[in-house]
Amino acid sequence: MTGAIKILSTRLLRLLMLASFVLLVPECVQGADADGGVKTEFSTKGPVGLFFMVRYYSATRTLEKAAWYFSPQGEAYENLQDGFSNADLAAHKGRKGTFKVADKTLEVIWPDGKKTTADYEPDATGFGWDMGSFTPVKPFGDAKLIAGSYEGGESLSRGGSSVAVSKSLELRPDGTYSLEGVSTLKAGELGAGAQSSANGTWKAEGYALTLTGSDGKTIRKLAFPYDDAKTRRIYFGGTMYKRR
């Protein structure tokens, strides 16, 4: 009974997440990508390529969002930040393990010997695993479709403390950008906040968005559109931004 409830919960979560983001994703994203030349596929043999994962934690009422990369060689990279070229993967600071699919189960073995094993549930939109929903993503296409104003943020509350981060990103058609962020922290009756802003030029190519600030510093992070051709959402630097 517990196994049946877990499978049902995973499927319900995937349906809720897909409905929430209004996805229009093809059955399988094919074609060479700009970062590693790897085709994104998912089948009963296992996943290969870049996937966006969402997982809901009822205890904290938070939604985890992260990019995962599954290599053709059987390596799994959790919470990918910079891309999946050979250089990016070599510099990956998050968890990396080896994975295999057998008997409808996906198992990841981490460097410390610990294993994460759960039912592997592929369907027409991606796959479910370990209470998470994994959806294949596409690279950026025409930069003109990306230009616009976006907003995003994260919040977490636990044990009477809370953290909230709000960001706004404007990508202008002339190639310039502005990025603003506000963060607040509350612990009991105490609170604190901070603000930041930056501007400069931007470039979207493949699975990367590069921001070059007016101070000459460059930030390049894994990024991709997450919605239909109108690009209503983009994922960048660990944050999902929604077009305003």
> Burial level of 190, CB count in 10 A (0-12/13-18/19+)?
exposed
From first to last of its 244 residues, the chain has per-residue pLDDT tens of 444 434 444 454 454 444 333 332 322 333 334 455 567 899 999 999 999 999 998 877 788 999 999 999 999 999 999 999 999 999 999 999 999 999 999 999 999 999 999 999 999 999 999 999 999 998 988 888 899 999 998 766 666 666 778 899 999 999 999 999 887 777 766 677 788 899 999 999 999 999 999 999 999 999 999 875 566 899 998 899 999 9
For 195, counting Cβ atoms within 10 Å of its Cβ (0-12 exposed, 13-18 middle, 19+ buried), the class is: exposed
Tokens found for residue 111: 């460097």
Residue from 127, 163, 151, 139 nearest 18 by CA? 127
Name residue, tokens 């996937």.
51
**Pick from 207, 202, 219, 218: which is nearest to 150 by CA?**
202
Q: Are 210 and 35 in contact (CB under 8 A)?
A: no
Q: What is the pLDDT of residue 195?
A: 82
What is the pLDDT at residue 144?
A: 84
Q: Please classify residue 174 by burial: count the beta carbons closer than 10 Å to its beta carbon, then call 0-12 exposed, 13-18 middle and 19+ buried.
A: exposed
Res 154: pLDDT: 73
Considering the domain 143-243, what is its CATH architecture?
Beta Barrel (2.40)
For residue 53, what is the DSSP state?
E
Residue-level pLDDT at 66: 94
Amino acid present at 135: T
Q: Which CATH class is domain 2-136?
A: mainly beta
Report the C-alpha gap between 236 and 152 in whole angstroms: 10
Q: Quote the tokens at residue 73.
A: 């060689």
Is the pTM higher than 0.75? The answer reads yes
Measure the CA angle with vertex 158, ends 154 and 163; round to 5°: 35
Which element (helix H / strand E) includes 145? Answer: none
At 142-195, the pLDDT tens digits run: 888 899 999 998 766 666 666 778 899 999 999 999 999 887 777 766 677 788
Query: What are the sequence ranges of the domains in the chain?
Result: 2-136, 143-243
